[in-house]
Structure 1
């Protein structure tokens, strides 16, 4: 073989090369030096095995990190979609309030506006929107905004609902604006007095 700036290798050069004979390669070590050399070679092979073990451990760690990243990215994607959907639905809540007022005044009894109102309500419900804050429900300060309180407050329940609350899944989009009253006493409490 020739390379740039090198001379061609001749047949005489290859014959003159110092090639060990086969018998020498398979010969048993005679001295302690050759045993130490063989031991050093075995240790270097074992360190190569340690290197393989280290590389396998690194590969497993990177694989686990990627799997965690993929799960986290999917969870973040779903969360971002839910927040985006929540923001859009929150902007439509005044429209739902107007439709509820029109329904309460009888403007949605018949006609094309009733069909549109029903379709909007049905679409938002199928997206996961749920209303809460009905009269008689127990008062929860995390879900209800009390604008007035009548009574002692021993058993607070919702009296009048001024504005309905909405939630999308587990997320509260808007608290219900309510009047809080004392709930009816339970029969057990009445008999104890």
Structure 2
């Protein structure tokens, strides 16, 4: 039967590591952490095969309650040494002057870009506004011109009727209800801007008068209309028909 190993003596077990630790410290090594595991070794629960074997086992086995110490060496654990003095607080980063100058320059450049774009948009708006104003004026002028041309065409077609009314008035036939109708017609056409011109004694104007006869007279100092054969008409500033007259020139 083999003999079981005896438990190590606590005093001898603890001295060896202590001596090694001292040697390690002398050699410049860091101290190691030592953990001791103390466990009780109880009786065996197995049933002995025979009384003789049980007696031998009892003689060879250690006394009950013997404590076995096992030494476990744990690797070195480094701990930070406490720092003496007040705690260190990180100070806020101070802005760099170059970075501040570059940021200010970028802001100024962006502001100038916005101002330039605003100026350009303002000019575009002014140009569009002026073009729209000119367009409205041109449209209004064209509309008025078309309206005036249409009105002039209608009034030109009615001028022969007005000539007949003038001849009837000269002969004294424009009386009674017929005279009232003639006056109403003349007033209605006048509301559209129709005006008559050409009276005896008016200075001769070649742009408005059509001379069909010429004579000399000592009573005039300039070419003068001495006889109106047919009156002229104009619509606003537009000439619809010149007046047909006889002109007397000075001697």
Q: Is the pair's TM-score, using the shorter chain for normalization, greater than 0.5? A: yes
Map of 1:62 onto structure 2: 128
- Residues 1:169 and 2:233 are matched in the alignment: no
- Segments of 5+ residues of structure 2 without an aligned counterpart are 1-91
- Residues 1:93 and 2:159 are matched in the alignment: yes
Matches within 5 A, 1:8-157: 28-31=95-98, 35-36=101-102, 38-110=104-176, 112-151=177-216, 155-157=222-224
Q: For residues 119-142 of structure 1, what are the alpha-carbon distances to aligned partners after superposition, in whole Å with 9 as ceiling and x for unaligned? A: 111111232221111111111101
Runs of 4+ in 1 over 3 A off after TM superposition: 33-38
> Would the alpha carbon gap of residues 38 and 29 (structure 1) be closer, same or farther in structure 2, given more than 3 Å must change?
farther
1:35 is displaced (CA, Å) by 3.8
Structure (1/2) with the larger helix percentage: 1
Map of 2:47 onto structure 1: none
- Segments of 5+ residues of structure 1 without an aligned counterpart are 1-22, 186-193
* Number of corresponding residues: 158
In the aligned structure 1, how far is the partner of 2:142 from the partner of 2:244? 32
> Would the alpha carbon gap of residues 49 and 29 (structure 1) be closer, same or farther in structure 2, given more than 3 Å must change?
farther
Provide the alpha-carbon RMSD of the alignment.
2.5
* 1:173 partner SS: strand
In the aligned structure 1, how far is the partner of 2:96 from the partner of 2:129? 45
In the aligned structure 2, how far is the partner of 1:136 from the partner of 1:34? 92
